[in-house]
Structure 1
Amino acid sequence: MRLHGKVALITGAGTGIGAATAHRFAAEGAQVFLTGRRPGPLEEVALEIEKATAVNAGASWPVVATFAADMAVTGQARAAVAACLERFGRLDVLVANAGGHGGEAVADTGDESWQEALHANLNTCFVTCREALPALIDARGGIVIVSSIAGLAAGPAVSGYVTTKHALIGLTRSIARDYGPSGVRANCLCPGWVITPMADDQMDFLVERDGITREEAYALVTKDVPLRRPATPEEIAAICLFLASDESAIMTGSVVVADGGATAVDLPTLPFT
């Protein structure tokens, strides 16, 4: 029980990495507070956690709560943190996972699209961290910011996504430097391809373009990745658990890459493979 007695707030918790992280944290003894913009998926995840906890751990205390909010909006993020503190009495861990696309090249990106990318990927994380920091300082807690390998290198025609995911690494390091003396740790996780609803949507573009299955699309985008496969949400959740637990107590300001080896590949050498 690596998170026994801890309270974790997870953004983007209704699907994908966020949902898997909520399940893993609850299984490790945490009370989890789930946020996202859509109440339906949050409630589904919460019900699954309640059932699993009752069966596996026999817990008699509340283990999960949900709060539908746009965490990029100060008032809503502040209300979510307040609701978490009211329900569970403390906040030890923040997993800033929520994000979205920013999907054009620079010359094709209009003002509205640019602002949407900032809102979904950067503002959500910044505002959530800012509102959670007083409670995290009180608990001498930790933050896991989920960026992407798009924070390390650029994909085609996703300038808003790439820019904001790069910015999350800077935000992580700023928090680590400024709040480390108060006992707060902040680390950044950069996954590669992960089998999630968001990635499924991207695979479906290849499905329609190339007349292949979704599984074949995932194989295509990872054919030059050393491990030759995408990650599962559960594999990324396991790394979130490590960064949130005392096992990583000396780590802060770190950038942890979980991409099957994608960023280890020297692209100009691919013709020699």
Structure 2
Amino acid sequence: MTDLTRFSGKVALITGGGTGIGAASARRISAEGGRVVVMGRRESPLRRVAEECGGHFVVGDTASLVDLDRAVSEAVALYGGLDVLVANAGIELFGSVETVSIEDWRRVFEVNLEGAMLACRAAVPAMRKRGGGAIVLVASVASLFGAPSYVPYLTTKAGLLGLNRSIAYDYGPEGIRCNALCPGWVKTEMAERALAGIAAQKGLEESAFSEAIVKVYPLKRMAMPDEIAAIVAFLCSADSSFMTGSVVTADGGGSVVDVGTLQFASNE
């Protein structure tokens, strides 16, 4: 059951807030009484989410500290401070160490890892003025396991787990918590692009490939963005007040599957 007051008096900045997990998180925090600022590169979806939430949007690049500082400044000017950061912005490009272009490698690092670090760098001083805060780094189960020709994405998402531990250690004494969330497959625009790309590489139909992926999940399906947003809201709220430096997995049970035993499982 949604607590309509859990974020009363709280202000949240959400990067990558125009679609998918970011947009769903903005709606969830707003529904629970928070004020939200969503940031991203595309104005149209950001405007739509901000209007739905009665919040504010900032067009900017999470790889730019100037843009992030501006987003934090606008949150403080409009709503009086900043209590929550959801570092959700990310991109997904493919390749092995031999095939990925250096330009793609660097861009994924700029957005997924350096962008998250810069978002925290911009947010922490404002949180300090409020006496504490909560940060959620949206990583991925890709930070925990391997996948073919996925080297830039896997490497950056694994890096977020190190960033998570460092922030938790450095800023815990100031009441600033940081936790990482590792979703599995979620029905978002980015997931659809990734599935299409992988399916094309394998010469498979996208729908058949999607079905094959979730077939090994005990829950037999992908997550909806709202389901992941509920976990984001928990990690941002006082309900998780003794959690910091944690890594939370939400993957439909995929990480408990021993793929070596799948050949013995009956077809369903």
Structure 1: segments with no counterpart, 5+ residues: 51-63
1:154 aligns with: 146
Per-residue deviation, residues 12-65 of structure 1 (Å, max 9, x unmatched): 000000000000110000000110011111001112223xxxxxxxxxxxxx00
1:96 pairs with 2:87: yes
| Alignment size in residue pairs | 258
SS in 2 for 1:98: coil
1:7 pairs with 2:24: no
2:125 aligns with: 134
2:235 aligns with: 243
2:102 aligns with: 111
TM-score for both structures, normalised by structure 2: 0.93
User: Over the residues paired in the alignment, what is the CA RMSD in angstroms?
Assistant: 1.4
1:260 pairs with 2:252: yes
Provide the C-alpha distance between the structure 2 equivalents of 1:260 and 1:108, rounded to a whole number of angstroms.
31
Q: CA deviation at 1:203?
A: 3.0
1:58 aligns with: none
1:210 aligns with: 204
Q: CA deviation at 1:110?
A: 2.2
- C-alpha contact 2:171 2:177 (8 A) present in aligned 1: yes
Q: 131-140 or 85-94, which moves further after superposition?
A: 131-140
Q: CA deviation at 1:217?
A: 4.0
1:36-185, aligned counterparts within 5 Å? 36-50=40-54, 64-139=55-130, 140-185=132-177
TM-score for both structures, normalised by structure 1: 0.91
Provide the C-alpha distance between the structure 2 equivalents of 1:36 and 1:181, rounded to a whole number of angstroms.
31
Of 172, 186, 199, 1:194 maps to 186
- C-alpha contact 1:93 1:143 (8 A) present in aligned 2: yes
Of 206, 228, 231, 2:223 maps to 231
Structure 2: segments with no counterpart, 5+ residues: none
Q: 230-239 or 40-49, which moves further after superposition?
A: 40-49
Q: Closer, same or farther in 2 for the Cα pair 1:190/1:184, shift >3 Å?
A: same
1:28 aligns with: 32
Q: State the identity as a percent.
A: 46
| 2:111 counterpart letter in structure 1 | A
Per-residue deviation, residues 70-118 of structure 1 (Å, max 9, x unmatched): 1211111111111111111110000000001131011112221110110
- C-alpha contact 1:103 1:157 (8 A) present in aligned 2: yes
| 2:21 counterpart letter in structure 1 | I
| 2:196 counterpart letter in structure 1 | D
